[in-house]
Structure 1
């Protein structure tokens, strides 16, 4: 049912209207504009920025989704920003529009490994079995791919949706929506928001489960007994201690202050290391060890308020709001050269942006 399952199956923004991006009045520097649902960000060592664009979906085929149906189109992309020039270097990636909403599932995150290879997670947000009704290009949804921007091509690295169908780490209804992505010397780590799991993909493409994030009981906004809320992990990074850190969006009812950051040590249950956040969409560590937390909706996804937030958590635990007003459903975060790069208006077609926000006290 909706309360127990449908609204908690990933990045579902059906309750929110289509929104304009920050625009010319934004107090921050615009790095890229005219983007279709910009999501995750990654920098190459030479300063080139890569942006995952979830796209705008398309005319179909349309397939079932817990909230209705999603319609496929090959409109997902990866944009490269190099020396001020903005170019879509990868196009034709699978994209799915959740009908009747501004939400789109598609390319979710980008990351580069030590060899400079670019990897992309391709979201879905539904039962991976629905891919059978899609054309071949659409069937690459719910996977991890390796891209060759210079050639505009990509190849499959791991079928994360297939792993959800065969192994289903959290034991719930089959659902895969690969989101956050981290490259390591041993391969890639992926946060599957739909599967409530953290997955490792070896350099040979073998998938294994690093952690499962179980549901927890929260107050029912309609009254009555508490209801289960799914975790919905959306982002993964490595902390100064070398351990993996994961941020959660939370599922329905998306409670204000209900999102946690977990430390994950393989073989151990996830440990909450910071809480009290709302609808976390991305996290990143600064060079001084401070943690930056990006909230897609600071007042909660059910509030109707599209204002996000960027929050710094110092090593002593103190918190500072770095940016709020002007962030419109932000969806991606990267830290470089004393600035926070943020994908702004991540549910906007053709008007999404990447903006650079100066960080007090950060110079490199």
Structure 2
């Protein structure tokens, strides 16, 4: 049952509800943080273009039809996913009509998950699903692009399929579990794209024209059962991938149920090798990035755990010597995306909020822990 990779859906069923989400994100006027984009629908991954343009994946708000069965109720489709561009202070939705799925009765939404640009400035987008890819056959044609990687042309508002991640999960199923695909983290490299499939517990390489290969599989591990009894298997749920200063791939994990506090790891992945834990003790990692000084920044969607009922996230810096500093926490509410540029951390805040999600800029130099 808990194979499904809901970011907060399972947590919602055990106590986290819409009642704990404020009407607006909690960035005060006297805060050193700056809001660079607002009015977003479930903002997720972030990426900067070579000219400083910021792109934001918006998971959308789902829709009303069709509604499909889900382990926690119904998930309803709508073409409400989008990509927003922030250029010279102006905010514009440059890509709309992308597939979006809302878990009824909760803020949980699956849709556009991450964005990345290659060296030529081409924009790529992962489109999430969070379920068995065979369910796509019940969707209209535009909805069947869920669980895929697409290449977008923001200037024209169009996109085209690059790789069917969900189809690869059905044909190859790298982790051998129940079919489930939720393409999340995305990295563009000289050799193609790298996708973290949170549903498939896998890291995938994509080369043109749409050739997919398995780079790594993240197995489950046994953890204490919060309700007592013997230990239970916990899915890995890799949510983010980046390139490290040493050239290797680094992957952060959300973890599956029971989302234990301190149970999330950062893995180092070399081609052909097994994932190696290089940093542990985090809680529900949603994104990671390396700074110019080789410090690792880790974004937690729920600092006290997804089952705590507390929506406070955290941005943590890990120095090269292993020391850790909480750069920001209070004021981060279910943060879901991270990008670093010009001495600032750009964070998607209120990543499960319709119409009030935002992107904030947090100064990193001289920033006191909050």
Query: Structure 1-normalised TM-score?
Result: 0.96
Q: Which residue of 1 aligns with 2:191?
A: 186
For residues 330 and 366 of structure 2, the distance between their equivalents in structure 1, rounded to whole angstroms, comes to 21
Any conservation in 2 of the 1:10–1:177 contact (CA below 8 Å)?
no
Q: What is the root-mean-square deviation in Å for CA atoms of aligned residues?
A: 1.2
User: Could you say what secondary structure the match of 2:312 adopts?
Assistant: coil
User: Could you tell me how far apart the structure 2 residues matched to 1:142 and 1:261 are?
Assistant: 24
Superposed, 1:150-169 pairs within 5 Å as: 150-169=155-174
Cα drift, residue 361 of structure 1:
5.9
Query: Take 1:250 and 1:260, find their aligned partners in 2: how far apart are those partners?
Result: 9
Q: Return the alpha-carbon distance in structure 2 between the equivalents of residues 249 and 142 of structure 1.
A: 18
CA deviation digits over 1:273-332, x for unaligned, max 9? 000000000000000000000000000000000000000000000000000000000000
SS at match of 2:137: helix
4+ aligned runs moved over 3 Å, structure 1: none
Q: In structure 2, how many angstroms separate the alpha carbons of the residues matched to 1:10 and 1:77?
A: 20
TM-score of the superposed pair, with normalisation by structure 2: 0.95
1:13 aligns with 2:9: yes
Corresponding residue number in structure 2 for 1:343: 348
1:214 partnered with 2:210: no
Q: Which residue of the other structure, out of 310, 315, 319, is the alignment partner of 1:310?
A: 315
Aligned-pair distance for 1:24?
Answer: 5.3
On the 8 A contact 1:118/1:147 being kept in 2, the answer is yes
Question: Per-residue deviation at 1:23?
Answer: 4.6
Provide closer, same or farther for how the CA distance between residues 361 and 291 of structure 1 changes in structure 2, counting only shifts above 3 A: farther
Q: Structure 2: how far apart are the matches of 1:252 and 1:303?
A: 13
2:204 — aligned with what? 199
- Displacement, 1:205? 1.2
Are the equivalent residues in 1 in contact too, given 2:152–2:159 (CA < 8 A)? yes
1:320 pairs with 311, 318, 325, which one? 325
2:177 is the alignment partner of 1:172: yes
Report which stretch shifted further, 165-174 or 13-22.
13-22
State the shift of 1:203 in Å. 2.5
Verify the 8 A CA contact 1:310 1:323 in the aligned structure 2: yes
Q: Report if aligned partners of 2:26, 2:332 keep a CA contact under 8 Å in 1.
A: no
Instruction: List gaps (5 residues or longer) in structure 2.
Output: none
Q: CA deviation at 1:65?
A: 2.1
Measure how far apart 1:267 and its partner are: 1.0
3-state SS in 2 of match to 1:30: strand
Deviation string for 1:174-210 (max 9, x for gaps)?
0000000000011000000000000000022100000
Hey, what does 2:140 align to over in structure 1?
A: 135
Listed as ranges, the matches of 1:217-232 within 5 Å are 217-232=222-237
Gaps of 5+ in 1: none
Q: How many residues align?
A: 358
